[in-house]
Amino acid sequence: MKVKVVIFFICTTLVAANELDYNAAINTNYGNNYDFYNFSENIFDLNFFYNDLHGWIQYEYSNPPDIGFPTNDIRKFRMEYASGDFNLKLGDIYEIWGRGMMLNQFDDQITNFDNGTRGMLVEYMNGPLMLTHINGNSNMYSNQYSDRVPDFNNIHNMNANRLQYDWNSLLLGLTQLRSNEDHQLTLGPNVSVNHNLKGFYTSWSGANADFFSEYVDKVSTVYTGTGTPNDTLKKGFGVYHNINLYLGNWGLSSEYKRYAFDAAHGDITVNEYGNQIEYQQMPTLGKEQNATLLGRVTHNYNFNDERGVQFELNGSLLGLAVTAQYSHLSRDEEWRSVTNFDWEEKPISNYLPSSNESALPYWENYQEISGYILDDKLYFKLGRGNNKEITKAPKYFEGQQMDKFIDSFWSYDTTDTVLFGTEYQIIDSMEVFDTSYSDPYDVMSKWWQETKSFTIPVELNYIFENGYTIGVGFQYQEKSIMDRKMGNSEGYSAADSSWEMYNPDDYTEYFNTTTTKLFSREGDPVDTQFNRLLYISISKAPRWSFTITQDWTSAFDAGAPVDPYYNPLEALVYGDLKYFTGERDKIAPPSWTENRWVSAEFAYNITSSQRVSIFYGSIQGGLFCSNGVCRLIPPFNDGLKITYSASF
């Protein structure tokens, strides 16, 4: 701590003395709501430059932050020296090699994901050749059970090397990374794991085409202190290809991935030591959405066990931007229920993703047209997206079985005895069993959970001559979550060691049921959830903008959230005069506010590089994803958020 304070004082004094060139940024976020959800985050970044030297310090005072631990300290720092053929970095290192299959380090404060390394980077360049070495420690936190305070911690001591050859349009890279990890398991004590990764990547860029390819091989072993037993060995690999083709104003991007680091049945990634390590943040092959409702139905990508393809076409039509995207993902293997709890892995015979429900497939497609019309006065965006996903497959059997018949009869021995003569017969009896089997017959017992959604985002902005702009945005979504069960068997009987038939008298009778997992606020099952998001904005460039947003839903897959307080903004939006005349109970919101979240935000540019925004109202919680990392955001009810950002 003392060392950091000294560093900070030296840097600020030097900068203040105008000896160096520098820039700085301040980001302040404050929030407080009716549910006692409060945060205060203050982050200050300072960069300074002196000839070949660059320094960076990030200071944070957060108590508490929106997500993470309370901090009052220098959070990050780095010194860089670049001269001629050498590049040296000391402090917090963030690097991306290739497309990140081995190393992709970033600090995402929105999801509280930080996989940077505190240590050293040395780089030597000689013409097209570049050698890089990284060495240091990473302390990585994640949220497994808690929304806000991290409860999982993995510590890595790593070193990594790269040899890259950059020759005109061709690039080749050889990479290697070793890490000794103190790994926190979901259950049980921490384990010491050694990870060894080797990989390569290559890219080529031409006038009308380019490609990129990367492969990584990973071996992980648990260190027990008594050697390296083979039964702890975990092997995996990942491969990624990207080919882009261009013709005139059109470009087609195609991507393929196959990540096979640790296969396991189930809808959740098991927190095992054989998993992909945090440094590996790979391409996801899903559309990075910027519409709120589409962001809520994002697939939870599995970096350990997933393959897939993605195609995206970008073009220009009548001066407007056109995008069409399709992706299909699945696990690397299909699964078959052996019993109600045991599973049998069945590798997929080809390289493409599977559509079999047991492989938890995911499909998405999205089309969008956007651009300026009416002499650049009207900006519009019209999209259409739908996706389908199998999120769980608790049972999946399709095969044959035979019924076993056991006939028994008694065998009697009526041999006369010498002692008693024929008068008394000794009858000896014995039960005899005769086992026979029926002809094999088809058995199917399948159960999976399926989600589907269909979304239309629309946005319009009209710019007036006097600098005012009116904006309207509307997003509409239909979503379903269903339990699907089908087959002629309802389950496996452990007692009989066989699949129990749905109709014991007629094995050809099949059932096919669909049960919704969505419920209305009153608890009634509903097939479809309707979501709508409407926002209206007015702005005056370059000074201010004001936006009112209403988010509305019709059903829930978990308990319906309770709005604890009727706020004046809601009353204003719904035109409820009784609220303002004191005739309304503020802690008992009226029924028309249920299932709705209303908020207003005012943003003001104090100067061109200083901006303050004030938010008031409620936000619906839900899944938020960024950079392939997702977290559940708790709802924010009847609260205030103030954000200030400045850069100098």
Among residue numbers 136 through 195, which ones bind other proteins (CB under 8 A)? 168-169, 171
Cβ proximity to other proteins, 104 vs 595, nearer residue? 104
Q: Which of 381, 395, 446, 641 binds other proteins (CB under 8 A)?
A: 381
Which residue carries 């080797």 as its tokens? 198
Residues 6 or more apart from 580 whose CB is under 8 A from it?
568, 571
Task: For the CB of residue 243, give the shortest distance to other proteins in the complex, in Å.
Answer: 9
Cβ proximity to other proteins, 77 vs 579, nearer residue? 77
- Contact flag: residue 298 with other proteins (CB under 8 A): no
Task: For the CB of residue 292, give the shortest distance to other proteins in the complex, in Å.
Answer: 12
- Contact flag: residue 281 with other proteins (CB under 8 A): yes
Q: Which of 41, 95, 262, 332 binds other proteins (CB under 8 A)?
A: 95
- Span near other proteins by CB under 8 A; candidates 46-54, 269-277, 427-435, 523-531: 46-54
Of the chain, the end-to-end C-alpha distance in Å amounts to 27
Strand ranges for 127-208 from DSSP E: 129-142, 152-167, 170-183, 191-205
Q: Give the closest residue to 150 by CA, choosing from 636, 631, 637.
A: 631
Cβ proximity to other proteins, 62 vs 449, nearer residue? 62
Cβ proximity to other proteins, 166 vs 403, nearer residue? 166
d(CA 555, CA 529): 5
Among residue numbers 542 through 571, which ones bind other proteins (CB under 8 A)? 542-545
CA distances from 223 to 130, 181, 183, 194, 296 (A): 34, 10, 11, 7, 40
- Contact flag: residue 81 with other proteins (CB under 8 A): no
Among residue numbers 101 through 120, which ones bind other proteins (CB under 8 A)? 104-106
B/e letters for 582-614, b = 16+ CB within 10 Å, e = fewer, are eeeeeeebeeebebbbbbbbebeeeeeeebbbb
* Per-residue contact string for residues 229-268; x = within reach of other proteins by CB under 8 A: -------------x-x-x--xxxxx-x-------------
Task: For the CB of residue 221, give the shortest distance to other proteins in the complex, in Å.
Answer: 27
- Contact flag: residue 624 with other proteins (CB under 8 A): no
Among residue numbers 437 through 466, which ones bind other proteins (CB under 8 A)? 459, 461, 463-464
Structure-block tokens of residue 329: 């993902």
Structure-block tokens of residue 605: 């540019």
Task: For the CB of residue 104, give the shortest distance to other proteins in the complex, in Å.
Answer: 6
- Contact flag: residue 387 with other proteins (CB under 8 A): no
Cβ proximity to other proteins, 54 vs 388, nearer residue? 54
Cβ proximity to other proteins, 73 vs 182, nearer residue? 73
d(CA 613, CA 645): 9
Rounded to the nearest 5°, which phi and psi values hold at 270? Answer: -70, 140
Among residue numbers 465 through 504, which ones bind other proteins (CB under 8 A)? 467-469, 471
- Contact flag: residue 123 with other proteins (CB under 8 A): no
d(CA 120, CA 497): 60
- Span near other proteins by CB under 8 A; candidates 18-26, 148-156, 178-186, 358-366: 18-26
Task: For the CB of residue 23, give the shortest distance to other proteins in the complex, in Å.
Answer: 5
Q: Which of 31, 64, 150, 315 binds other proteins (CB under 8 A)?
A: 315
Cβ proximity to other proteins, 105 vs 143, nearer residue? 105
Q: Which of 21, 151, 416, 496 binds other proteins (CB under 8 A)?
A: 21
Q: Could you please report the per-residue DSSP string of 268-310?
A: S----TTSPPTT------S----SHHHHTT-----SSEEEEEE
- Contact flag: residue 73 with other proteins (CB under 8 A): yes
Cβ proximity to other proteins, 1 vs 587, nearer residue? 1
- Span near other proteins by CB under 8 A; candidates 131-139, 228-236, 310-318, 555-563: 310-318
d(CA 407, CA 592): 69
Task: For the CB of residue 78, give the shortest distance to other proteins in the complex, in Å.
Answer: 9
Cβ proximity to other proteins, 169 vs 355, nearer residue? 169
Q: Could you please report the per-residue DSSP string of 11-69?
A: HHHHHHTT-SEEEEEEEEEEEEETTS-EEEEEEEEEEEEETTEEEEEEEEEESS-SSS-
Residue count of the chain, please give it: 648
d(CA 542, CA 515): 52
Task: For the CB of residue 12, give the shortest distance to other proteins in the complex, in Å.
Answer: 5
Task: For the CB of residue 353, give the shortest distance to other proteins in the complex, in Å.
Answer: 18
d(CA 273, CA 182): 10
Q: Which of 65, 487, 628, 639 binds other proteins (CB under 8 A)?
A: 628
Q: Give the closest residue to 108 by CA, choosing from 524, 644, 557, 627.
A: 627
Task: For the CB of residue 328, give the shortest distance to other proteins in the complex, in Å.
Answer: 17
Task: For the CB of residue 284, give the shortest distance to other proteins in the complex, in Å.
Answer: 5
- Contact flag: residue 602 with other proteins (CB under 8 A): no
Cβ proximity to other proteins, 94 vs 565, nearer residue? 94
B/e letters for 465-499, b = 16+ CB within 10 Å, e = fewer, are eeeebebebebebbbbbbebbebbbebbeeeeeeb
- Contact flag: residue 373 with other proteins (CB under 8 A): no
Count of residues near other proteins by CB under 8 A:
93
Cβ proximity to other proteins, 393 vs 625, nearer residue? 625
Q: Which of 14, 26, 163, 352 binds other proteins (CB under 8 A)?
A: 26
Beta strands 378-401; 468-487: pairing state: unpaired
Neighbours of 432 (CB within 10 A): 10
Structure-block tokens of residue 33: 């709501």
**DSSP summary character for residue 565:** -
Residues 6 or more apart from 426 whose CB is under 8 A from it?
413, 414, 415, 417, 420
* Per-residue contact string for residues 190-229; x = within reach of other proteins by CB under 8 A: ---------------x----x-x-----------------
Q: Which of 316, 493, 503, 514 binds other proteins (CB under 8 A)?
A: 316
Q: Which of 187, 225, 349, 376 binds other proteins (CB under 8 A)?
A: 376
Beta bridge partners of 483: 449, 515
